A and B are shown apart, each in its own frame.
Chain A
Amino acid sequence: MSGTPILSLNALTMRFGGLLAIDDLSFEAKRGDITALIGPNGAGKTTVFNCITGFYRPTSGSIRVTRDDGKVFALEKLPDFKIAQRVHVARTFQNIRLFAGMTALENLLVAQHNTLMRKSGYTVFGLFGTPGYRSAEREAIELARHWLAKTQLIERADDPAGSLPYGAQRRLEIARAMCTNPVLLCLDEPAAGLNPRESDELNTLLRSIKNETPASILLIEHDMNVVMEISDRVIVLDHGKKISEGTPAFVRNDQKVIAAYLGVEEDAVDQAEAEVRA
């Protein structure tokens, strides 16, 4: 199954009344890859995410996820929680949506809701504290502990999520998403607001997710250092359309992308001006 893409969008269109947010978009994300979705503000990147994760219902087009066992899911027809529950697509949010009043550990336990519900006999066994449920709960705490350690949050495990510093909250959101054992992890601007050292730590975390778990990663990002460092493939959106795609190096030098999104390096501008004056 390693040849087929994990995610494939085909002729995806999203219209909000008169506003065409996504226009006939098609692309593929390879299994096990880190695929980056970049583009100017308002290009439709988060809209694409919302379509993939079921928060919007696309106007037309198809979104297919193919699991490792060969099962294919058509996401354009499923509601948001079913996509997370059945297809195991997890996401983080641009504006961080943690359960602020619950501890970091509790956040990660909520993520394992579906497994725990089954093991608790839909609450009945859990109510009477059967050993089957108790061991399931222990396992859940172990998985939570694993991801807390991976995101350097073990020390803050019992603190309310709302009291964590910004960078820690971003990491916690990723840890929570990983506790659902996803096959596709969608990250919306995971590096926003992180200083360069924290961005480096994020890169390490994402690389370890790519190498150590079955998850494929799809991310929206503006921080070019993150994108260039770790993406296997980059897709560039502008005004709802795909304007470029390829390896990070290719996209970096694509004129269309530079004009619409990256801009020219200031040093290059200074140099060009110096040359002109000379």
Chain B
Amino acid sequence: MSAARPAFSSALAHALKDALIAGIVAFGLFILLLGFLTDDQRGPLRLLSRPVLLASAVGIVFAGRFIVSVIYHYAAALRYWLALIWSMVCGAAIKFKWPLLAIMLIFAVIRIYYAPQTWPLTAVAVATVFIAVRFGLSAAFLMLAVLFPVAFYDNPYFLGIAIIALTYIMLGWGLNIVVGLAGLLDLGYVAFYAVGAYSYAIIAQTYGWSFWVCLPLAGLFAAFFGILLGFPVLRLRGDYLAIVTLAFGEIVRIVLLNWVTFTNGPNGIGSIPRASFFGIPFTAGDDGFAARFGLEFDPTHRTVFLFYVILALALLTNWVTIRLRKLPVGRAWEALREDEIAVRSLGINPTNTKLTAFAIGAMFGGFAGAFFATRQGFISPDSFTFPESALILAIVVLGGMGSQLGVAIAAIVVTASFELFREFEQFRLVIFGFGMVVIMVWRPRGLVSTRDPTAYLKERKTISVEHVAEGRG
């Protein structure tokens, strides 16, 4: 009788076999791609060989597969221990939160003492951690968002990134209604973003109405398009729904590209009226914002204003979503995701439920689009391509479908890493891919893999992800 634990030697043997096969496959694939190089720079076309590169590539595949195979053999045990360590760390963090906060406070004081000019940043950091400990992660995020411009006032670059991040958070929250709550796989969300942006631009340019008037109109147009998309896809499921929504996104983009008389085609629409502080423009003149409020003119004023506008819009999206979840329509969305047949058997009209999800999700996309137009001052069909839709969907899925906090974290991670890894031009995609694999192994159902119930009799117990359906449309 063999031992109860998988013998290490058998794990090694298996891993060696896997690595060997992988190495052979790699050799077959790489021999032409890497092993040989065509060169026509100096004279006629000739073939150079790169045996060292080929050997190293095959070697890396061999070694990597070997390591992965050994790890995989102990996957179950590894997962168990990792989960145990993670829960211990979280438990310790929660248990010792006040001592940890005190330590952080001491470090902060020391830092300010030695580098007084960093006091806004340090103060904000400490305050955030305090709020997180006392009131929870969501409250901390909110406070951080509100105080962000204060902390980074002299860094318009970071403010710019923050505005982008908030835009994607809003888009993520909007798509979350369709994909996360209702379980409808929408791959063409960027269409509503585009409709919002273009309708804002055209209305603002043609009629000259202020941002706050054009914004609801842009949302209305986008919602209309949401219903337009909803009708033909009502009976589609899963993959078919995804493909048709993808096509819809492309159709909108191509129409925008070709309807030159209306949308100016590939040249886009420029000189979109910039945002003003409720009528007061952000210019250097005497009627400008700075003069009116007795401040020295600073182009950052507009950026800060835009920051708070997008923050308000995002918070509106969040508030509406949270409210809707507790209302019958929101529950119907989540029930639809779980089991459409059961929903029908309870007398709920699935058509209306799906259309409502599309329309409301689209509306928030439209708002985000209008904001985008006014911030950039210029829009063109190039900004509304399929990779944008895919990115927003990735944010929703990464966040953990249905979870507001998860989507926000995911949007920040994705946006921030895009910017921060700009330096690593070549390797940015490799890092991105690696990150995706890690997430898929560690958190296959998204970062925040729990669901909060919307009503409770005695106590609110969060539901772990294994019970929650993924939604097939």
Contact of B347 among A81, A102, A160 (CB under 8 A): A81
Decide if A90 touches B453 in the complex (CB within 8 Å).
Answer: no
With a cutoff of 8 Å between Cβ atoms, the chain A residues found around residue B320 in the complex are 127
Decide if B451 touches A101 in the complex (CB within 8 Å).
Answer: yes
Decide if B457 touches A141 in the complex (CB within 8 Å).
Answer: yes
Cα distance, A142 to B468, chains bound together (Å): 25
**Cβ of B312 < 8 Å from any Cβ of A?**
no
With a cutoff of 8 Å between Cβ atoms, the chain A residues found around residue B455 in the complex are 103, 105-106, 109, 141
**Cβ of A63 < 8 Å from any Cβ of B?**
no
Cα distance, A163 to B345, chains bound together (Å): 22
Cα distance, A111 to B320, chains bound together (Å): 23
Cα distance, A82 to B350, chains bound together (Å): 11
Decide if B458 touches A110 in the complex (CB within 8 Å).
Answer: no
**Cβ of B95 < 8 Å from any Cβ of A?**
no
What per-residue 1/0 map shows which CB atoms of B382-418 lie under 8 Å from chain A? 0000000000000000000000000000000000000
Would you list which residues of chain A between 111 and 157 have a CB under 8 Å from chain B? 111-114, 116-117, 120, 123, 126-127, 141, 145, 148, 154, 157
Chain B residues within 8 Å of chain A by Cβ, number:
39
Decide if B327 touches A105 in the complex (CB within 8 Å).
Answer: no
Cα distance, A141 to B346, chains bound together (Å): 17
With a cutoff of 8 Å between Cβ atoms, the chain A residues found around residue B350 in the complex are 81
Would you list which residues of chain B between 341 and 367 have a CB under 8 Å from chain A? 341-350
**Cβ of A67 < 8 Å from any Cβ of B?**
no
Known A101-B451, A126-B328, A141-B455: A111·B463 in contact at CB below 8 Å: no
Interface magnitude class on chain A: 35 or more
With a cutoff of 8 Å between Cβ atoms, the chain B residues found around residue A93 in the complex are 341-342, 345
With a cutoff of 8 Å between Cβ atoms, the chain B residues found around residue A112 in the complex are 328
Quote the shortest CB–CB distance from A50 to chain B (angstroms): 10
**Cβ of B186 < 8 Å from any Cβ of A?**
no
**Cβ of A158 < 8 Å from any Cβ of B?**
yes
**Cβ of A159 < 8 Å from any Cβ of B?**
yes
**Cβ of A180 < 8 Å from any Cβ of B?**
yes
With a cutoff of 8 Å between Cβ atoms, the chain B residues found around residue A90 in the complex are 345-346
Decide if A113 touches B453 in the complex (CB within 8 Å).
Answer: no
Closest to A108 in B: B455
A residues lining the B interface (CB < 8 Å)? 53, 55, 80-86, 88, 90-91, 93, 97-103, 105-106, 109-114, 116-117, 120, 123, 126-127, 141, 145, 148, 154, 157-163, 176, 180
Question: What are 8 A-B contacts with C-beta separation under 8 Å?
Answer: A53-B345, A97-B339, A99-B335, A101-B334, A101-B338, A148-B457, A162-B467, A180-B347
